[in-house]
Every structure is written in structure tokens, then in C-alpha cells.
């Protein structure tokens, strides 16, 4: 059975019988975990092991584990800094900041790989323009070149730990004040200005080997009337065509307010996939998840299958091995000092 194009969430700390059945649906390809699914490293490791054991190829297991405000697993994991701290260090000492960025990416990824989570939706490639509260300190820096440099170092660390990277939120969420979780952000800038600034980190990271990208639920009316995640112009013409991206395109959560202008949840899923997404996320709404699995219909894209299997995690150290690893202990000290 191939990996399907839908990523779902779970209700709690263990798989429910109905969730096991749902995750065996051919349209499902992955699971995203949240704080409600985490109690301890031992518990989440057992949960991930069960999810991976349901199917072959195994389902992808992902989490938002950026650091700062967005870190789903806390007790038993190193507290990671909001990446804007790395940007502040970059302004004083770029070489030190790049070392810390690589160390942070490695530490984040190796702790997740130790419980067999495949990947984190990271790093954030948005610009910190001082406008967006939902982005804010989740962004490395205000300057595109600095974001690209720091993100590249962060991704190198992730790759050393055996984890693929996913940049977000294409083509940039930093220039709008509205939060797409609860509103529909609109960015009135011209395409030439967006390409010259916000898209630069994405373009450079694609060149460096970025495996995944998540588009923003933001409308850029001078480019397309649809939010970027539902836009053929943004995903097929610009991201795939102009920028040459060959990795996975993940939709942002289709249950967010910024996605609802595209119709009901089944219409949103169909539109996102037809626009160029390889996998759509349906979170925090079990009824919507069931509607998508019932109403989406047959979907088989061999190219997407190949892209998705490349998101599986590689190296998988045990937590006991990490505890004895001097490099790991050094990384914990270095990152904790700036968290």
C-alpha cells in the first residue's frame, strides 16, 4: 500500500480502535502529533512504534517542534530556544550563530529520531518584519540573507541527525498582521517585491537540498485570488516551475480559518491537491477528517508517493545511546544556555 495524501491527528496518548482503522485507510499517509499526544519519551516512543507498525511502507509521523512557543514535547526533551534568539546572536557574531543553529537543528532532530518521529515541520523561513504576531520570534531574522544562512546551518544539523527538513510558510507569512489560524491574511504586495525578499530564503534552501515546503494560508491578490496553498500559480508555476522545487509540498492545516474560503473541507482538500500539494493536513476536527477520507475519492500520484517516502527518518539512536554521547551532552548545554 502506498502512502496516501492525507495527514491526520490523534485524540490522546494511545491509539483508539477507530483510529487504528482510520490510519489503515489508503488515503492516509501520515500522522501529526500534538502536545495532547505527549506524556513522556517512553509513551510517545510506544505510540510512534504502533503507528509505524500499522502499514508498509510505514506512515509518516511528524510534529511541530520548532522551539520557543512551538514545541509540542516538553518534559524529557531539551527546551529549545525560539529561533529569533539565533538571529540576535547572528547580529553580534555570525560564526557563533551558525554553529549554534546547526547544533540546535541537530539536537531537535536527534531527540525526535530517538523516539522514531520521522520529521518536524521546521525550519521557519518567514521574515521577522515585526508585523506578524503568529510568526514573530519563530523567524530567524528580518533579512532574507540572514534567514537563508541560519536556516541552512539548521538544516545541516537536521540532516546529520537523519531528518528531512520542511520550510514554511511559502512564499512568506511575515508581512501580514492577521493570524491564519483565526483569520484570512491578505498581502497586497506585488509579485516582484515578494520574490525579491520573502522568497529568497526558500529559493536558497531549495538549492541547498530542502526536502519539504509548507505554503501559507495567505492571499496575495496581485498574484492569485486563492491562498498560496490552493494556488496553481504559486505552487506549480512559481515553486515547481520557476524555483525548481522537487520535494514534498504539505498543505497547512485545512481546518484553519485561513483555509475556509476555499469551500468545505473536502473541496479544500481537492483544491490543495490539484494546485500542487502532495499531502494535506486535517487537524483538530475528527468529523472533517472523516469527511475528507469519505469524499476525496481515488487519488494515486506515483510522483507524490516517491516524494513522500523520502521524508522517512534515517538514523535512529536510542535515548540510552544519546545519554552516553558526549556530543549530545555538549549540544544540550550549548542550546539550553540560549533557550
Q: Which tens digit of pLDDT belongs to each residue from 126-174?
A: 999 998 888 999 999 999 999 999 999 999 999 999 999 999 999 999 9
Mean pLDDT of all residues in the chain? 95
CA angle 289/292/297 to nearest 5° reads: 150
How far is 13 from 34, CA to CA, in rounded Å?
Answer: 10
How far is 190 from 157, CA to CA, in rounded Å?
Answer: 35
Model pLDDT, residue 299: 84
- 10 Å CB burial of residue 150 (0-12, 13-18, 19+) is buried
Catalytic residue among 252, 253, 278, 312: 252
- Structural domains of the chain in order of their starting residue, each with its CATH number: 6-336 (3.20.20.300)
With residue 32 as reference, give the H or E element that holds it: strand 28-33
The 10s digit of each residue's pLDDT in 194-244 is 999 999 999 999 999 999 999 999 999 999 999 999 999 999 999 999 999
How far is 63 from 321, CA to CA, in rounded Å?
Answer: 22
Those residues whose C-beta lies under 8 Å from the C-beta of residue 165, and which sit 6 or more positions away, are 105, 119, 122, 123, 154, 155, 158, 159, 205, 210, 211, 212
Model pLDDT, residue 279: 98
With residue 205 as reference, give the H or E element that holds it: helix 200-208
Can 252 be counted among the known catalytic residues? yes
Side-chain-facing half-sphere of 328: CA atoms under 13 Å: 17
Residue that wins the pLDDT comparison between 274 and 315: 274
Model pLDDT, residue 133: 83
Model pLDDT, residue 71: 97
Percentage of residues of the chain with pLDDT beyond 70: 97
Model pLDDT, residue 68: 95
Q: What is the mean pLDDT of residues 32-59?
A: 98
Phi, psi of 279 (to 5 degrees): -145, 135
Model pLDDT, residue 339: 81
Least confident of 35-39, 92-96, 132-136, 192-196: 132-136
Q: What is the mean pLDDT of residues 243-249?
A: 98
Catalytic residue among 179, 181, 299, 325: 181
How far is 253 from 257, CA to CA, in rounded Å?
Answer: 9
- Asked if pLDDT for residue 179 goes beyond 70, the answer is no
How far is 57 from 4, CA to CA, in rounded Å?
Answer: 11
- Asked if pLDDT for residue 259 goes beyond 90, the answer is no
Distance, first Cα to last Cα, the chain: 42
pLDDT band at 181 (very low <50, low <70, confident <90, very high): low
Model pLDDT, residue 260: 57
With residue 308 as reference, give the H or E element that holds it: helix 302-309
Quote the distance between the C-alpha of residue 272 and its chain's center: 16
Model pLDDT, residue 162: 98
Q: What is the mean pLDDT of residues 272-295?
A: 96
Peptide bond into 222 cis (omega under 30): no
- Asked if pLDDT for residue 26 goes beyond 70, the answer is yes
Give the cell for residue 154.
539548521
- Asked if pLDDT for residue 315 goes beyond 90, the answer is no
Model pLDDT, residue 257: 61
pLDDT band at 262 (very low <50, low <70, confident <90, very high): low
Percentage of residues of the chain with pLDDT beyond 90: 89
Amino acid at each position: 500500500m502506498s502512502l496516501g495524501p492525507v495527514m491526520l491527528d490523534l485524540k490522546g496518548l494511545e491509539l483508539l480502535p477507530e483510529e487504528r482503522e482510520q490510519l489503515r485507510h489508503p488515503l492516509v499517509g501520515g500522522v501529526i502529533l500534538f502536545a495532547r499526544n505527549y506524556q513522556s519519551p517512553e509513551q510517545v516512543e510506544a505510540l510512534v512504534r504502533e503507528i509505524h507498525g500499522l502499514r508498509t511502507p510505514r506512515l509518516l509521523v511528524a510534529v511541530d517542534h520548532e522551539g520557543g512557543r512551538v514545541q509540542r514535547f516538553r518534559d524529557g526533551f531539551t527546551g529549545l530556544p525560539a529561533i529569533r534568539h539565533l538571529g540576535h546572536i547572528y547580529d553580534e557574531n555570525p560564526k557563533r550563530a551558525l554553529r549554534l543553529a546547526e547544533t540546535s537543528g541537530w539536537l531537535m532532530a536527534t531527540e525526535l529520531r530517538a523516539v522514531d518521529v520521522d520529521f518536524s515541520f521546521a525550519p521557519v523561513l518567514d521574515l521577522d518584519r515585526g508585523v506578524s504576531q503568529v510568526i514573530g520570534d519563530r523567524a530567524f531574522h528580518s533579512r532574507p540573507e540572514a534567514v537563508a544562512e541560519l536556516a541552512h546551518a539548521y538544516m545541516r544539523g537536521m540532516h546529520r541527525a537523519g531528518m528531512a527538513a520542511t520550510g514554511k510558510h511559502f512564499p512568506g507569512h511575515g508581512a501580514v498582521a492577521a493570524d491564519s489560524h483565526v483569520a484570512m491574511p491578505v498581502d497586497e504586495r506585488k509579485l516582484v517585491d515578494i520574490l525579491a525578499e520573502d522568497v529568497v530564503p526558500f529559493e536558497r534552501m531549495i538549492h541547498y537540498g530542502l526536502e519539504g515546503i509548507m505554503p501559507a494560508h495567505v492571499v496575495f491578490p496581485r498574484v492569485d485570488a486563492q491562498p498560496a496553498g490552493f494556488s496553481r500559480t504559486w505552487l506549480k508555476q512559481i515553486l515547481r516551475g520557476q524555483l525548481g522545487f522537487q520535494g514534498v509540498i504539505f498543505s497547512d492545516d485545512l481546518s484553519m480559518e485561513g483555509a475556509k474560503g476555499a469551500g468545505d473541507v473536502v473541496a479544500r482538500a481537492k483544491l490543495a491537491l490539484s494546485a500542487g500539494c502532495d499531502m494535506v493536513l486535517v487537524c483538530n476536527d475528527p468529523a472533517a477528517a472523516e469527511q475528507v477520507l469519505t469524499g476525496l475519492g481515488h487519488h494515486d500520484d506515483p510522483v507524490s508517493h516517491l516524494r513522500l517516502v523520502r521524508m522517512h527518518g534515517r538514523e535512529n539512536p536510542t535515548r540510552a545511546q544519546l545519554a552516553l554521547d558526549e556530543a549530545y551532552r555538549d549540544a544540550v548545554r550549548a542550546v539550553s544556555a540560549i533557550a
